[in-house]
Amino acid sequence: MPADGGIGAPNKRREDVRFLTGKGRYTDDINMRGQVYAAFLRSNVAHGRITSIDTSAAADMPGVIRVFTGADFEGIGGLPCGWQVTDRFGEVMQEPAHPVLAQGKVRHVGDPIAAVVAATAEQARDAVEAIEVEIEELPAVVDMKAALEEGAPKVHDDLTSNLCYDWGFVEENREAVNKAFEEAAHVTTLELRNQRLVANPMEPRVAIGDYAAHNDESTLYTTSQNPHVIRLLMGAFVLGIPEHKLRVVAPDVGGGFGSKIFHYAEEAFCTFAAKQIKRPVKWTSSRSEAFMTDAHGRDHVTKIELALDGDNNFAALRTETYANMGAYLSTFAPSVPTWLHGTLMAGNYRTPLIYVNVKAVFTNTVPVDAYRGAGRPEATFQLERVIDKAARELGVDPIALRRQNFITEFPYATPVAVEYDTGDYVATMDKLEEIADLAGFEKRLEESKARGKLRGLGVNCYIEACGIAPSHLVGQLGARAGLYESATVRVNATGGLVVMTGSHSHGQGHETAFPQVVAEMIGIDPNMIEIVHGDTANTPMGMGTYGSRSLAVGGSAIVRATEKIINKAKKIAAHLMEASEGDIELKDGQFTVAGTDKSVAWGDVTLAAYVPHNYPLEDIEPGLEETAFYDPNNFTYPAGAYACEVEVDPDTGKVTIERFAAADDFGNIVNPMIVSGQVHGGLGQGIGQALLEQAVYDENGQLLTGSYMDYAMPRADDVPFFAIDHSCATPCTHNPLGVKGCGEAGAIGSPPSVVNAVVDALQRAGKPVTHIDMPLSPARVWEAMNQ
Amino acid sequence: MAQVSMTVNGMRVSGEVEGRTLLSTFLRDTLELTGTHVGCDTGQCGACTIHVDGVSVKSCNMFALEAEGAEVTTIEGMANADGSLGTIQQAFQDHHGLQCGFCTPGMVMAAAALLKENPKPSEAEIRTYLSGNLCRCTGYHNIVKAILAASGQDVAKEFAA
């Protein structure tokens, strides 16, 4: 086992030392001189018209500096949406305004109405209580299908209905798919819900706005996965601050899982208010506020149908999904049920005809956007559940039915617009069967029976599209931004390097993994390399971290910038050794001249670059710093096979995860320890979705799960040790590292195997149960067993 | 406002607090010991776990004034005297028991309290003990592994386990 090695070494994480000793620097740990505090008055009703706001009593409260309402934001831009979907009739989606503070109407519980800035956080919260607001409550729409009925209350008065878009994919295939269903030997139909979840990173969101009068520069410290994107969105679309007068800093961030991608009202408010009152303004979310303001995830209701021919080959797939957008369009919300979902409906299988219909709906609920996996867990869940149901209807082994329909030749162009470059689904399934010890299942089944428990086995596959770029492709799909990544590599005179990346680490270990890439290329100790990220003042334009893209896109940008460094360093080395540039080789940090014993060390060359006493000044500039922007030409396609064994208590319906195995193909791997950790975490979240988690609204739009008292987070005793393997690697063909991305796999792949396992356990016990909606709480399982 | 005094990580400290000031707020804002994190407002997440007079407590569930005269230990007091990582901290790094680091101080403090009570806990005992500490990153796998290792028990060496 190499220690502090290059690519492939399980280097221990250098960032751990500060986190383990309490020296991390999260946004809430930052306190500015003269700082004051913001607190928000939030709507306690789901839908209503604001008839009056009286802030006079609040303004007189101790410590209060100023009270802001929607009136202060008239004429200021709303929060923009970064993705525009075109519907199946060629029309663009309906896109409502999203004000920073409510303008006349409130549209979900938690919608901000007013804000107090005061000397202390307690004084700000006290004064919020003293704001007198009158709201004429309006009927709320919560259920998506009800929201689309004629005469349903409209979330946005200026839109024609609550339908954001009605998307068909691939629309041209619609009739051919319908015809295939008419001719099918067997059709399996399943209606299911992918329930609403709350991302719940352990660090609540925080924003600190600061304004420097001496240079008219605004700074926002924020808990973000992508500070440059926030700078662009907030500067250009909300506050009208040019990017060179706006700095966004996202320091240590305590998890994101998607929910910290988006631009939030509190960020714009604190930046705006700081300039107004000329004091730094800080807002720290409580967990209760997080539940009603952080973008939620999932919330799809789907009917999926799978058509098979007489030989059990998949012939066609048809889905109809209702996707909840909530009350406003969060930054990337429209892309999740469409391009991150429809394009993955082929899964790991040869299905020649696919048609996906998605109706995105506005309701009086918190906006819904990307949450770990974003669209791909929804696609995987439907597909892998319907395949399991089909196998049971046809009386064939669910693994055999999958194997029979696997894609086996690559590249493979799916009927849903993407081309898988590499994969080996047979090998990952073989590996799964080995690490899950499926051969031993029958014995364990008997042991469970002896204990009076119902045991079940669930298996599924998954595929995902990661490394979100290709800008040319996402542009066609409706993205309003490019999705490349950038890197600047700065070599110091004494040979150490600083790598500035637009990727952002909020738990992924970039500070450890990225240096391994550069160290491998130059042949030096990774500890000579420092990673800088999370500050628009220090790093080139970046698109941030989400969609398992950091290594595939950000890491590739670092490779490109390092290649430029090496090319220039070779020129300098050639000069120093009076040799031809083409003869220079770099290995283990030494430049040599091929076929000779001449050599100069990495440090000699870097010093020459900055002390150019003997330097080819007529040919190359002094200095050693290079920037690269990398934009791949395809997504990456990680894939895998997962197996779950559960025990169900027949008396209570309680499900226990007894074994869980995951075989993944992530392509090449830079730090296997970090990759394993990413899979573990994804599995924890996926099992949380399958068994525990759900955001629940009542029919009036009140959020019933607004704290950890009501929203069941997975705890240490809800999960087992996981058996995982990522040795079946088929490297990605179109990025220089051959990597595919691993951050979301566990969350995408695990929910169907848990549900498949519970259905298997109940069917083995003779119960005619074909599906239970997540979360599989004891009550739901018991009810299904005792129908 | 009232005066409160206590010993934190071996140092005598005092400060002015309101009656409603939480111990976690006093540690973070007055003493600038920001290693203690606040992740919820219902005493569920455990990120703010510290030791008061040797007992593990959630510092967001205690008023600063209630700690008058107490011996308090926070994550900042857990390293060895020479500044190197303590046994539990080192085990968390060795076994990748943390990712974003936000729950980590609470996890380390909870683990220390567990091992004081039960020096060789089983996997099941560790999982049960940690049920008051939420982690969203690790799936708990490597946290449990780290605590087993910190207690001197054998932990499989391979990474993909």
- Measured CA to CA in angstroms, residue A756 lies from A161, A314, A645, A784 at distances of 37, 19, 9, 14
For A11, phi and psi rounded to 5 degrees? -55, 140
Return residues 61-100 of B near A (CB < 8 Å). Answer: 74-76, 78-79, 85, 89, 92-94, 96, 98-100
Query: CA distances (Å), A28 to each of A18, A136, A622, B36, in order?
Result: 16, 36, 41, 11
Q: Is residue B156 part of a domain?
A: no
Same domain, residue pair B133 and B93 = yes
Residue A2 has pLDDT above 90, yes or no: no
Q: Is residue A476 part of a domain?
A: no
Domain identity same for B72 and B92: no
- Determine, yes or no, domain membership for A778: yes
**Subunit contact B139:A685, Cβ cutoff 8 A:** yes
Q: What's the confidence (pLDDT) of residue A522?
A: 97
Same domain, yes or no: A681 and A769:
yes
- B9: alpha, beta or left? (left if phi > 0; alpha if psi -120 to 50): left
Same domain membership, residue B108 and residue B52: no
- For residue A495, tell me if it sits in a domain: yes
Is the Cβ pair A684, B159 closer than 8 Å? no
Count of domains for chain A: 3
Helix/strand/coil percent split, chain A, to 5 = 30, 25, 45
Q: Which of B46, B77, B108 is the last residue before a domain boundary?
A: B77
Do the Cβ atoms of A317 and A305 come closer than 8 Å?
A: yes
Which of 33-62 (B) contact A at CB < 8 A?
A: 33-42, 44-45, 47
Domain shared by A660 and A755, yes or no: yes
Query: Does the residue A184 lie in any domain?
Result: no
The pLDDT value recorded for residue A476 is: 85
Kindly state whether residues A446 and A514 are assigned to the same domain.
no
Residues B7 and B73 in one domain: yes
What pLDDT shows up at residue B161? Answer: 40
Q: Do B85 and A717 touch (CB under 8 A)?
A: no
- Would you tell me how many other CB atoms lie within 10 Å of the CB of residue A350? 17
Distance (Å, whole) CA A501 – CA A485: 8
Looking at the complex, does the CB of residue B158 fall below 8 Å from at least one CB of chain A?
no
Q: Do the beta carbons of residue A301 and residue A144 sit within 8 Å?
A: yes
Provide φ and ψ at B30, rounded to 5°: -85, -50
Chain-chain contact of B100 with A681 (C-beta, under 8 angstroms): no
Residues B115 and B142 in one domain: yes
Q: Which residues share a beta bridge with B117?
A: none
Tell me the CA distances in angstroms from A750 to A604, A663, A721, one per residue in order.
51, 11, 14
How many cross-chain Cβ pairs, A to B, lie less than 8 Å apart? 200
Nearest to A652 by CA among A475, A510, A547, A783: A783
Residue B160 has pLDDT above 70, yes or no: no
| B155 domain-assigned | no
Q: Which of A19, A509, A681 sits opposite B104 (nearest CB)?
A: A19
- Residues A612, A641, single domain; the answer is no
Q: In the predicted model, what is the mean pLDDT of residues B36-60?
A: 97
Question: What are the beta bridge partners of residue B71?
Answer: B7
Q: Report the CATH number that the domain containing residue B65 is assigned in CATH.
A: 3.10.20.30
What backbone torsions phi and psi does residue B6 show, to the nearest 5 degrees? -160, 175
Shared domain check, B70 and B132: no
Residue A345 lies in a domain: yes
Give me the CATH number covering residue A687.
Answer: 3.30.365.10
Whether residues A638 and A626 share a domain: the answer is: no
Residue A60, pLDDT > 70, answer: yes
Binary contact (B124, A31; C-beta < 8 A): no
* B67, two tokens: 């700690």
Q: What is the pLDDT of residue B72?
A: 98
Residue B106, C-beta contacts closer than 8 angstroms, at least 6 positions apart: B36, B37, B39, B45, B46, B47, B48, B49, B133
Same domain? A655 vs A762? yes
Please answer whether residues A643 and A436 qualify as being in contact, where contact means their C-beta atoms are separated by less than 8 angstroms: yes
Chain B contact set for A29 (CB, 8 A):
28, 34
Edge-to-edge strands, sheet with A454-463:
A454-463, A639-648, A655-665, A723-725
Identify whether A249 is part of a domain.
Answer: yes
- In the prediction, which pLDDT does B158 show? 43
Q: How far is B55 from chain A (nearest CA, A)?
A: 19
Domain boundary among A227, A256, A283: A283
Domain that holds residue B140: 87-150
pLDDT per residue over A357-392, tens digit each?
A: 999 999 999 999 999 999 999 999 999 999 999 999
A603 to chain B, any CB pair closer than 8 A? The answer is: no
User: What confidence score (pLDDT) does residue A194 get?
Assistant: 98
Element (H, E) at A691: helix A672-691
Q: Which 8-state DSSP code applies to residue B140? A: T
Q: Among candidates A415, A407, A412, which has minimal Cα distance to A343?
A: A415
Instruction: Please report, for residues A35, A376, B7, the alpha-carbon distance to residue A262 in angstroms, rounded to integers and kept in the order given.
Output: 25, 19, 42
One domain for residues A99 and A230: yes
Residues from chain B contacting residue A252 (CB–CB below 8 Å):
100-101
Radius of gyration of chain B (CA): 16
Cβ-in-10-Å burial (0-12, 13-18, 19+) of A2 comes to exposed
Contact A583, A593 (CB under 8 A): yes
Among A290, A33, A310, A90, CA closest to A187: A310
Q: Is the pLDDT reported for residue A69 higher than 90?
A: yes
pLDDT at A230 over 80: yes
Nearest to B47 among A31, A202, A721 (CB): A202
Q: Residue B25: inside a domain, yes or no? A: yes
**What CATH number has the domain bearing residue B115?**
1.10.150.120
Is the CB of B112 inside 8 Å of chain A's CB atoms?
no
How confident is the model over B31-59, as a mean pLDDT?
97
Can you tell me the ipTM of this complex? 0.97
A635-675 per-position pLDDT tens digit: 999 999 999 999 999 999 999 999 999 999 999 999 999 99
Q: What is the pLDDT of residues A7-47, one digit of tens each?
A: 999 999 999 999 999 999 999 999 999 999 999 999 999 99
Shared-domain flag, residues A591 and A492: yes
B95 and B67, same domain (yes or no): no
Q: Measure the CA dihedral A74/A79/A84/A89, to 10°.
A: -50
Sequence-ordered alpha helix ranges (H) in chain B: 23-25, 87-94, 104-117, 123-129, 141-150
Which burial class, exposed, middle or buried, applies to A33 when counting CB atoms under 10 A from its CB (0-12, 13-18, 19+)? exposed
Among the candidates A595, A611, A630, a domain finishes at A630
User: Is there a single domain that holds both residue A580 and residue A650?
Assistant: no
A356, exposed or middle or buried, with CB in 10 Å at 0-12, 13-18, 19+? buried
User: Are residues B69 and B96 part of one domain?
Assistant: no
A253 at interface of B, judged by CB pairs closer than 8 A: yes
Q: How many CB atoms neighbour CB A104 within 10 A? A: 10
Structural domain includes residue B160:
no
> Quick one: B124 and B57 in the same domain?
no
Per CB-CB distance under 8 Å, the chain A contacts of B74 are: 22
Q: Using CB atoms, pick whichever of A10, A287, A725 lies closest to residue B42.
A: A287
Tell me, yes or no, whether B6 and B72 share the same domain.
yes
Per-residue pLDDT tens for A245-298?
999 999 999 999 999 999 999 999 999 999 999 999 999 999 999 999 999 999
CB contact under 8 Å between B160 and A709, yes or no, is: no
Please return the burial class of A689, using the count of CB atoms within 10 Å of its CB with bins 0-12, 13-18 and 19+. buried
Residues A621, A748: one domain?
no
Per-window interface: A 613-672 vs B, CB < 8 A: 672
Residues of chain B positioned with their CB less than 8 A from the CB of A287: 39-42, 45
Within-domain flag for A191: no
Residues A433 and A339 in one domain: yes
* A464-474 residue pLDDT tens: 999 887 888 88
For residue A556, give the DSSP letter.
Answer: H
DSSP state of A477: T
For chain B, how many residues are written?
161
| Cα–Cα separations (whole angstroms), residue A711 to A227, A266, A299, A367, B142 | 29, 24, 15, 18, 24
Residues of chain A found within 8 Å of residue B72, distances taken between Cβ atoms: none
Judge: B160–A724 Cβ closer than 8 Å, yes or no.
yes
DSSP letters, A154-214, are PSSTTSSSSEEEEEEETGGGHHHHHHHHHH-SEEEEEEEEEEEEE---SSPPEEEEEEETT
Domain count, chain B: 2
Examine the domain organization and report whether B50 and B107 are in the same domain.
Answer: no
For the segment A420-463, what is each residue's pLDDT rounded down to a tens digit? 999 999 999 999 999 999 999 999 999 999 999 999 999 999 99
Question: pLDDT tens digit string along A195-229?
Answer: 999 999 999 999 999 999 999 999 999 999 999 99
Residue B11 is assigned to a structural domain of this protein: yes
Decide if A316 contacts A180 (C-beta within 8 A).
yes
End-to-end CA distance of chain A: 55
A666 and A618 within one domain: no
- Tell me the CB-side half-sphere exposure of residue A545, using CA atoms within 13 A: 29
Closest CA to A467 of A330, A229, A666: A666
**Over 90: is that where the pLDDT of A734 sits?**
yes
**Residue B129: inside a domain:** yes
Q: Which domain holds residue A68?
A: 31-138+207-283
Is residue A488 assigned to a domain?
yes
A133-156 mean pLDDT: 98
Using CA atoms, how far residue A569 sits from A308, A576, A581, A595, A687, in Å, is 60, 10, 10, 19, 50
Specify whether B13 is located in the same domain as B43.
Answer: yes
Q: Are A331 and A81 in contact (CB under 8 A)?
A: yes
Compute the distance between CA of residue A660 and CA of residue B141 in angstroms, rounded to an integer.
12
- Global pTM reads 0.97
